[in-house]
Structure 1
Amino acid sequence: MDHQRIIRDVTADLPAATTALDACQRFVTALAGHTPAAISLLLQVQGRLRCVAATGAWQIFSTVPPKTGIVGRVYATGETAVVPDVAADPDHLPIRPDVTAEICVPVVDPAGRTVGALDLQWSAPVDLAPWRATAERLASRLGARILALGGPPPESRSEKLLRHAAALSAATTDCDLITTAVCAARDVSALSAAVLLLDGPEESRLCRAPRTPGELEGRIRAELTEAGPAAVDRIVERVHRYGAGYTLGEAGQPPTEEYVPLSRAGVRTLVAVPLGPPAGGGVLLVADERLLRPDPTTVSLMELLAGQAWNSLDRLRTLDRLREQASSDPLTGLRHTGPFGKRIAAATPGRTALLAIDVDGFKTVNDTYGHQAGDRLLIGLARALESALRHGDELYRIGGDEFVAVIEVNRPEEAVRIAERLTEAARQTGRTISVGVALPRPGESAELTLRRADQALYMVKRQGRDGVRLAPA
């Protein structure tokens, strides 16, 4: 086999290529005429190796993470891999079942930077030594042509959307998700600003700003804030009623009434797409100060992005609800034993008071009037006790009719006064409670502090109930 001729034939058409992608496709097509090998050419795009041209394979890997497979290893090290038996190399990525040998060489530009990898896989006996030298020379010439044409091809908009969708799925907080969605909208649309309007419990409201809002985004937020919740409502209602919309980039055309605040902010180009359901969802606004003409494809990509953002946001909200349910008493809504254990473990000696609370005569209510009446009593009492506590005080239900309040005080007398407020709040509901108060001693475990509070509570019970007792210091 004349390898010099192979090099001439494969590189002869490269000067005619007008883009890096065109050069890669011409290169692979020409090389396939000289070998039955399955050929894959991968270039680095946004941290991943993307297959830009291939032939002869039943299946190719469209994108490969860095350092994955033989191609990833070659790209990361810049060193050629010659594999006479692919079964012996754990990094081999199978593209067809009959492959036996593989050569992978780095595609390097004249500056010495590795920009990709050229991979050849054979299913028949082959002399690998001359093919290694040929593949390295070919990859070097291709690298030079790619550099001359401006480097590896940029991500397509659909590839950008896929990358951002993965980031949305990985977001762990609302703030991270919002920032990711806004950045994705800017990147995929090529417009300069993006704002999320989300429907809140009481009224439509502007979603909180991402960590790095742009200048136009700041003006949009300011104008919508000044216009008030009703103006935001009108935008949300319009987009959900009529669907996604976009401007045509024509000068001198007045905005509809809903979009007047955006026009005042300097918006001249706008894509507006619904986010989530009409009730409880919102709107994604993507805008620019320039007069541009977004095409329907841009709008479709923004709709896909909005759908992924809403799914991710709904997932986070569902997880929050599940965590709340897991840490809350389903009857009263108070936190229960799990979070209480963490809270008392952080008790500050001399400052954190534990108030053990027991409902007087609760068993009699259950036995006489039934468990439903007992449940109603507990719910009403929980609300009354919560209202009697200060901001920052915490109330837990740790048993059937047993509650514990955790409060921060300066002196034991302050804890007693708060306990007395709780007993008075209970009386207002027609019931009475007994309360034992204890402050942690230096070096004392929180469990022992709670035990002392319980002992003080039972002293109240023995003395007639409906009262407060401070455990001895």
Structure 2
Amino acid sequence: MASTAVEACQWTVSTLARHAPATISVLLQVHDRLRCVAATGSWQVFSTVPPKSGIVGRVYASGAGATVPDVADDPDYLPLRPDVTAEICVPVCDPAGRPIGVLDLQWSEPAELDRWRETAERLADRLGARITALGGPPAESRSEKLLRHATAMTSAPTEWDLMTAAIGAARDVSTLAAAVLVLHGRRGPRLSAPTGAPGELESRIRAELTEAGAGPLGRIVTRAHRHGSAYTLGEAGHPPTDEYLPLARAGVRTLVSVPVGPPDSGGVLLVADERLLKPDPTTVNLIELLAGQAWGALDRLRTLAQLREQASSDPLTGLRHTGPFGRRIAAATPGRTALLAIDVDGFKTVNDTYGHQAGDRLLVSLARALEGALRHGDELYRTGGDEFVAVIEVSRPEEAVRIAERLTEAARRTGRTISVGVALPHPGEPAEVTLRRADQALYTAKRQGRDAVRLSAA
């Protein structure tokens, strides 16, 4: 009489409960969990169980039934009722013998477990055959999928992980074959980086949109934000509007287009298929919710990145400051990592004579000049008011001195001078001691007339 897998499980449990004085439940695999779809006789049941948890998980994973005369002796037992003493759990398998769930019985009074084991196995065999005939265990609803994917997007640690989660979620929730995310970048709308190995249709869509360029991408984004979400009815003989011609050339016959984020910084999520299908408003609504969740997670990641950058950068010059500098010099390589302590000559006079705004402008222009004189991979930090430190990798002390002299020349071109002290770490020497030696060399340069470079002798 059952017309669904869930009904078949409910009929099995209710029929068995009329004869067996036990707590009875059927758990079927749904996505990556065992989900209880029918139960009786307990104040509480586990709604979902990880596939390898408890006696039910062990039976499902192994495909071998279990008879447990005393649950207190089984370390896998998951307690639900304090009076349970014994348990029988048998796998529910499809006709090929693959487990698709379990039938579980728990007793709180003496019972002939061997007899009930035989009965449970026969019922589980019939139940497995019936579930298979009805199409298999119940699938997740699309709303359940959306919630699961929303959790994955919220916890994504990077933008790449988020894009991967969002595009995979769009395919899964919509049941369409391809998904592409277009977001505003510095130079206009652009395709997000491909995630994983895109399918054939998705690869064609990316190729056509890339060849079309920023213009058509911008029109697709504008259309979505101006008019809202849109979807095809999957009917042949109706030509697409001009902005969607690249998608039609790629073979798209079914399309859901959903705006993402605000018009000026967001984009559009395109979910497509080459089959002629008919998405319904519910599908579009779920994709809209998904797009909103993805944008919220993306905005959070970008805000956190901005806060980290602000926390590790000097707001005036944009250079990194003492926090990341401490971590960098802690990783200094003995004999190769040179520290260049830099101080602006006569900076206090500038502040006292022309004011702090003039001093700030001087520091900014000097920071740009020093950065321009360093090599690729060299790092410049602002560690105090007019104090900087460059961290460079060299093969000899003389190389570090030459780079320091390039810095002094760059400073002169701005109309100012600097003094530089150079030190290379000794084996086993703490980075703080190396920096102290660079500072001492700097003070020597100051005392000897400024606008000079001195190498630490110690």
TM-score by length of 2: 0.86
Gaps (5+ residues) in structure 1?
1-15
CA contact (8 A) 1:434 1:457 kept: yes
Q: Hey, what does 1:138 align to over in structure 2?
A: 123
Q: Hey, what does 1:106 align to over in structure 2?
A: 90
How far 1:57 sits from its partner (Å)? 5.2
Q: Hey, what does 1:13 align to over in structure 2?
A: none
Distance in 2 of aligned mates of 1:285 and 1:154: 25
1:358-394, CA deviations, whole angstroms, 9 ceiling, x for partnerless residues? 1223344556666565545434432332233333221
How far 1:433 sits from its partner (Å)? 1.7
Distance in 1 of aligned mates of 2:318 and 2:54: 52
1:189-236, CA deviations, whole angstroms, 9 ceiling, x for partnerless residues? 222211111111342111111131222222222222222212211111
CA contact (8 A) 2:55 2:89 kept: no
Q: Hey, what does 1:51 align to over in structure 2?
A: 36
* Deviation larger for 195-204 or 51-60: 51-60
Distance in 1 of aligned mates of 2:308 and 2:21: 57
Q: Hey, what does 1:242 align to over in structure 2?
A: 227
Q: Hey, what does 1:10 align to over in structure 2?
A: none
Q: Hey, what does 1:162 align to over in structure 2?
A: 147
Percent identity over the alignment?
A: 72
* Deviation larger for 351-360 or 135-144: 135-144
CA contact (8 A) 1:243 1:273 kept: yes
Q: Hey, what does 1:460 align to over in structure 2?
A: 445
Q: Hey, what does 2:78 align to over in structure 1?
A: 92
1:56-99, CA deviations, whole angstroms, 9 ceiling, x for partnerless residues? 5565443222233453344345443657788x9885354xx786
> Which of 50, 68, 85 matches 1:65?
50
How far 1:286 sits from its partner (Å)? 0.8
Gaps (5+ residues) in structure 2?
none
Q: In 2 relative to 1, CA 436–158 (structure 1 residues): closer, same or farther, beyond 3 Å?
A: same
Query: Is the aligned partner of 1:222 residue 2:207?
Result: yes
* Deviation larger for 288-297 or 124-133: 124-133
Query: Is the aligned partner of 1:324 residue 2:309?
Result: yes
Two-structure CA RMSD over aligned residues (Å):
3.3
Q: Hey, what does 2:297 align to over in structure 1?
A: 312
CA contact (8 A) 2:254 2:272 kept: yes
Distance in 2 of aligned mates of 1:52 and 1:425: 74
Distance in 1 of aligned mates of 2:200 and 2:97: 40
Q: In 2 relative to 1, CA 242–93 (structure 1 residues): closer, same or farther, beyond 3 Å?
A: farther
Q: Hey, what does 1:80 align to over in structure 2?
A: 66
How far 1:300 sits from its partner (Å)? 2.0
Q: In 2 relative to 1, CA 66–433 (structure 1 residues): closer, same or farther, beyond 3 Å?
A: same
* Deviation larger for 395-404 or 68-77: 68-77
The amino acid that maps onto 2:90 is P
Distance in 1 of aligned mates of 2:75 and 2:392: 63
CA contact (8 A) 2:90 2:120 kept: no
Distance in 2 of aligned mates of 1:111 and 1:257: 52
CA contact (8 A) 1:269 1:291 kept: yes
> Which of 384, 392, 408 matches 1:423?
408
Distance in 2 of aligned mates of 1:240 and 1:27: 52
Task: Specify the SS of the correspondent of 1:466.
Answer: coil
Q: In 2 relative to 1, CA 93–167 (structure 1 residues): closer, same or farther, beyond 3 Å?
A: farther
* Deviation larger for 266-275 or 174-183: 174-183
Q: In 2 relative to 1, CA 61–369 (structure 1 residues): closer, same or farther, beyond 3 Å?
A: farther
The amino acid that maps onto 1:200 is G
Query: Is the aligned partner of 1:343 residue 2:322?
Result: no
* Deviation larger for 372-381 or 461-470: 372-381
Task: Specify the SS of the correspondent of 2:377.
Answer: coil
* Deviation larger for 305-314 or 108-117: 108-117
1:269-311, CA deviations, whole angstroms, 9 ceiling, x for partnerless residues? 1111122222321211111122221122221222222223223
Q: In 2 relative to 1, CA 306–410 (structure 1 residues): closer, same or farther, beyond 3 Å?
A: same
Distance in 2 of aligned mates of 1:215 and 1:268: 14
1:412-452, CA deviations, whole angstroms, 9 ceiling, x for partnerless residues? 45433432332243344443321112344566554444333
How far 1:246 sits from its partner (Å)? 0.7
How far 1:43 sits from its partner (Å)? 0.7
Task: Specify the SS of the correspondent of 1:464.
Answer: coil
1:309-365, CA deviations, whole angstroms, 9 ceiling, x for partnerless residues? 223322322332233233223443321233223333444455433211112233445
Q: Hey, what does 2:247 align to over in structure 1?
A: 262
Q: Hey, what does 2:170 align to over in structure 1?
A: 185
CA contact (8 A) 2:71 2:87 kept: no
Query: Is the aligned partner of 1:295 residue 2:283?
Result: no
Distance in 1 of aligned mates of 2:363 and 2:295: 38
Task: Specify the SS of the correspondent of 2:389.
Answer: strand
Task: Specify the SS of the correspondent of 1:250.
Answer: coil
* Deviation larger for 359-368 or 379-388: 359-368
Q: In 2 relative to 1, CA 461–322 (structure 1 residues): closer, same or farther, beyond 3 Å?
A: same
